[in-house]
Amino acid sequence: MQILTPHTEVVLKLLLPTHSKELFHLADTNRTHLREWFAWVDHTSSESDTQQFIQNSLSKLCGMTGFNCGVWYQDRLVGVLEIHDWKHTLYRAELGYWLSKEATGKGIMTSAVQGLTNYLFQELPIHALEIRCAVRNEKSQQVAIRCGFVLEGKIRQGTVTSQGFEDVFLYSLLREDWTRQHDTANQ
C-alpha cells in the first residue's frame, strides 16, 4: 500500500512486518548518522526490535493515532516518514522523518513530505500538520520550509539528542496554507 509523491522515483509505503529486515539493515548501516539526532538508534540492536517498531506502528494505525511509512527511492528503502500524535478532536497530527546518510541532499524527503501532506489533506479530515526540528538541525528545517510549513515557536529543550536536551522549532501547515500553495502551483 503506497502513497505517491510529486517525484515519480519517491514512493511511500505503509511499513509492514515483512519490511523488518530491510529497515533494520538501513538503520544498522546508518548508526553514526542517526545517533546524532535519535535516541532510539541505540535501542535498536536486532531485527526483532525493528519488527516490534513496525508492529507498534500498525497498532497506531489500528487506533488511528498515526502510522509509519517507509520512503522508497528508485525502489530502495532509504528512510522513514511517520505521522504521530494524530488528535482527532483537534484535527491535527505531527510528522517526523529520517533518511539514510546516502539519500540526503537529493530532495527525497521534501518530495516524501509533500506526498504525505497531499494525501492527508486530500483524503483525511486533517486541519493542520506539525513538524518539530531541533534548532541545530538545519537540514530537517529545510524540509519543513520547502514544504510550506510556517515557524510558530521555539520550544526550549523540546527534544533529546546525543547532546542532551535541545531546543526545537515548531512549524505547522494549515489546510488553508496547503490549499493556497496548490492553487498557486496550479496557476
Select 67 or 109, whichever has its Cβ closest to its own copies: 67
| Contact flag: residue 135 with its own copies (CB under 8 A) | no
Half-sphere exposure (Cβ direction) of 168: Cα atoms closer than 13 Å: 18
Tracing cell 547532546 back to the chain, one arrives at 163
Among 9, 21, 74, 160, indicate the residue that binds its own copies (CB under 8 A).
Answer: 160
| Contact flag: residue 85 with its own copies (CB under 8 A) | yes
| Contact flag: residue 91 with its own copies (CB under 8 A) | yes
Binding-site size, its own copies (CB under 8 A): 43
| Contact flag: residue 124 with its own copies (CB under 8 A) | yes
Of 1-9, 44-52, 100-108, 133-141, the window that binds its own copies (rule: CB under 8 A) is 1-9
| Contact flag: residue 31 with its own copies (CB under 8 A) | no
- The answer to whether 147 touches 114, Cβ cutoff 8 Å, is yes
| Contact flag: residue 105 with its own copies (CB under 8 A) | no
Among 31, 76, 156, 180, indicate the residue that binds its own copies (CB under 8 A).
Answer: 156
Assign 3-class secondary structure to 25-82: HHHHCCHHHHHCCCHHHHHCCCHHHHHHHHHHHHHHHHCCCCEEEEEEECCEEEEEEE
Among 29, 40, 74, 138, indicate the residue that binds its own copies (CB under 8 A).
Answer: 40
Among 46, 157, 162, 179, indicate the residue that binds its own copies (CB under 8 A).
Answer: 157
Could you tell me the CA-to-CA distances from 44 to 36, 71, 104 in Å, in that order? 15, 19, 22
| Contact flag: residue 107 with its own copies (CB under 8 A) | no
Q: How far is the CB of 141 from its own copies (least distance, A)?
A: 15
Burial 119-146 (b: 16+ CB within 10 A, else e): bbbeeeebebbbbbbbeebeebbebbbe
Q: For the chain, first and last CA: distance in Å?
A: 31
Any residues with CB less than 8 A from the CB of 132 and at least 6 apart, and which? 94, 96, 155, 158, 159, 168, 169, 170, 171
Task: Summarize as ranges the residues that interact with its own copies (CB under 8 A).
Answer: 1-4, 13-14, 16-18, 39-40, 55, 58-59, 61-62, 64, 85, 89-92, 119, 123-125, 127-128, 130, 150, 152-160, 165, 170, 172, 174
